[in-house]
Structure 1
Amino acid sequence: MSCSYNNSREGRESEFEQHSVLRKSVDSEPKSVSQNGSISSPQLSIDDNLLVDPKLLLIRSKIGEGAHGRVYEGRYGDQIVAVKVLNPGSTPEEKAALESRFAREVNMMSRVKHENLVKFIGACKDPLMVIVTELLPGMSLRKYLVGIRPKLLDLHVAIKFALDIARAMECLHAHGIIHRDLKPDNLLLTANQRSVKLADFGLAREESVTEMMTAETGTYRWMAPELYSTVTLRQGEKKHYNNKVDVYSFGIVLWELLTNRMPFEGMSNLQAAYAAAFKQERPSLPEDVFPDLAFIVQSCWVEDPNMRPSFSQVIRMLNTFLFTLPPPSHSISDPDSNNSATTSNRTLTLSSAPVKGKFSFLRQLFAARRTRHSQ
């Protein structure tokens, strides 16, 4: 699994013909841009090598929408792509903040390359703030899970998806990037539904030990408790946290892969946030979940961030657990297989002594950490 910087542009602009045109955003959406169409700002600092020619970009049907922009299917030369058009902002202050967010997202997406991260293709600053990435024809993990309910994922598939996510996050953390919005909506399945890729760096930040970051980021049901405080922070206020907020979110996502349920069912978003942060509540694990798998989940969402494992440790634990499972009786790579989901398959017995020893060592490691922090 390679995780590397991506500095090449692969000669993109020389490969395409000049007769293509940039279509305006579809559905006649209003655009808050200056009369000359420029959105340039001193805060924008994007290398020219990361920019694509807007004249070569075609924007087609809308495929998604979020708080900060819309996503369209499009074409760049001979590539079918996803085109994220960011909101321009309605006031000078909002415009400056959105431009800064845009530049940060572009720079971070262009820095890292991994098979489980959506591939960055390029960006435009004029006439709109646009990020172009590969288009995955598969659906989001959220939509996929909802589509198979009340059935559960085959356990091998669930662990395979979890490993894809953990490897993507390990790559980001290795480059000092905190995603801060890890959830099934930002995880996209490949066309054959065999792999998952992480998308949407809109809330990602570079981690710094001495720098504080804005609070109340991400989505409530997946947010780590340390992103809240006893006194609610106003938007834009700062507080300390580190990349272990992503590990907490991963624990919630792993729970969803195993249970195919919405975390904190029956609660509003704010009720879920309060329950996690101030009552130390977590989604309940079914009784038939493997004890060692339950340990992985619980170690990820433990209250103390310093007690949570790194993604390297998560990957080792998941691989070790996967080694204990008997091989699937069918091909898990077949998305049409009726056996790709099941009503219950969590009751097998772990019998590998070496594997139990590895988990025992990890439990002792976390127990030692807990003892040190309680002193």
Structure 2
Amino acid sequence: MGSGNGFFSTQEFNLDSKWLIDPQQLFVGPKIGEGAHAKVYEGKYKNQNVAIKVVRRGETPEEIARREGRFAREVAMLSKVQHKNLVKFIGACKEPVMVIVTELLLGGTLRKYLLNMRPKCLDMCVAIGFALDIARAMECLHSHGIIHWDLKPENLILTEDHKTVKLADFGLAREESLTEMMTAETGTYRWMAPELYSTVTLRQGEKKHYNHKVDAYSFAIVLWELIHNKLPFEGMSNLQAAYAAAFKNVRPSAEDLPEDLAAIVTSCWQEDPNARPNFTQIIQMLLHYLSTVSPPELVMMPPKRTTSENVVFPPESPGTSSLMAARDDVAETQKTVDGEDRRKGFFFCFNQCY
């Protein structure tokens, strides 16, 4: 695994000095998320509220090399692109532990937002507005030759006013020019493009069978979910949904959608990746549809829920659904960060609670 710029080396960690975080100025507050390979905390860096992702190094040499490579790749992706619909990267450091620091988004994940709203659906104009946010983020990534590979509601975070969606979690992102092979852990089956399943079992060195159009397929599933506020392939497990999509060409029903909108969804999830539109085309199609519908009605935001009412959804990949403060879940611990004298230093937290 490698790249000429050194970002993808597991042996060294190269990062422009402007992105290097000083651990001495990093203060850790309450934990707001945990995945298989990382924990995410709310905290402060130079008096700015931030999300702090601490990546576990692993136990075996192979595991350490794999996680260091993934960490370097994610940092490279985050530092390479900036866009209003991508989570803002603040910096990273590799010692004493691997840390990624980003802006703290207070609106929660799109997944949780939609779940709190059920059985109601988003106003159509609001749903299309969110879809445009996502499509613009993806257009930016693809213009830099980056495939996200893990586009799903858990990786889409809302701003505090619930008016903007930002794409997060670049742990699986790749440069399209690289020929690194897929692994079974890549992506989340329910949202993954069908062509990815055949690459999972390819031998190292065989020609890859995917390109940036895998993200267009995932976008179609997310768009369908935005409109219907239902889990795609409802009633199926993740693996059953993957099998149905890949080997039976099954898709969620688009029959009840307006013609123009159905055309967008079905074109994006076509079986032939080359027949799917790119995100510049998707944006134009969404804008055209938006121009044909009436202005959005006043939409009631889902009510705040207390800790006892909330369901906690563990992240499915490191950092997923964790680049935000779940204010309804950590209200009691928020004062830990607000009080300067009560904050934990980074090294204290590492030694005491990691």
**Alpha-carbon separation, structure 2, partners of 1:173 and 1:248:** 14
Query: Structure 2 matches for 1:1-375, cutoff 5 A?
Result: 42-208=11-177, 211-216=179-184, 217-229=186-198, 233=201, 239-285=208-254, 287-330=255-298, 335=301
Contact kept, 8 Å, 2:113 with 2:302, in 1: the verdict is no
Task: Give the Cα separation in 2 of the matches to 1:232 and 1:211.
Answer: 13
Distance 1:90 1:235 in 2: 26
* CA distance, structure 1, for counterparts of residue 248 and residue 68 of structure 2: 37
Q: Which amino acid aligns with 1:211?
A: T
The answer as to whether partners of 1:179 and 1:203 remain within 8 angstroms in 2 is yes
Shift of 1:314: 0.3
RMSD of equivalent CA atoms: 2.0
How far residue 214 of structure 1 moved from its aligned partner, in angstroms, is 1.9
Amino acid corresponding to residue 174 of structure 2 in structure 1: R
Tell whether the 8 Å contact from 2:40 to 2:51 is kept in structure 1 after alignment.
yes
| Offset at residue 145 of structure 1 (A) | 0.4
Change (3 A) 1:328 1:47: closer
* TM-score, with structure 2 as normaliser: 0.79
CA distance in 1, matches of 2:203, 2:16: 30
Flag as ranges the 4+ runs of structure 1 deviating above 6 A: 234-238
In 2, distance between residues paired with 1:41 and 1:299? 39
| Number of corresponding residues | 293
**1:320-341 CA distance string (max 9 Å, x none):** 00000012343x5x7479xxxx
Could you list the runs of 5+ residues in structure 1 that have no partner in the other structure? Answer: 1-39, 338-375
Indicate conservation of the 8 Å contact 2:116/2:302, yes or no. no
Which amino acid in structure 1 is aligned with residue 71 of structure 2?
F
Contact kept? 1:164, 1:195, Cα under 8 Å: yes
The structure-2 alpha-carbon separation of the partners of 1:304 and 1:316, relative to structure 1 and needing over 3 Å to count, comes to same
Distance verdict in 2 for CA 1:98–1:232, change over 3 Å: closer
Deviation of 1:41 after TM superposition, in Å, equals 5.9
Unaligned 5+ runs, structure 2: 1-8, 304-354
Highest Rg: 1 or 2?
1
1:265 partner amino acid = E
Change (3 A) 1:215 1:88: closer
CA contact (8 A) 1:74 1:83 kept: yes
SS of equivalent to 2:82: strand
Give me the TM-score of the superposition, normalised by structure 1: 0.74
Contact 1:194–1:335 (CA under 8 A) maintained in structure 2: no
Q: Note the C-alpha offset of 1:219.
A: 0.3
Cα drift, residue 236 of structure 1: 7.7
Question: Structure 1, residues 244-302: CA drift from partner, whole Å, max 9, x if none?
Answer: 000000000000001101111111111111111111111123x4310110110010000
Q: Which has the higher contact order (CA 8 A, sep 6+)?
A: 2
1:64 CA displacement: 1.4
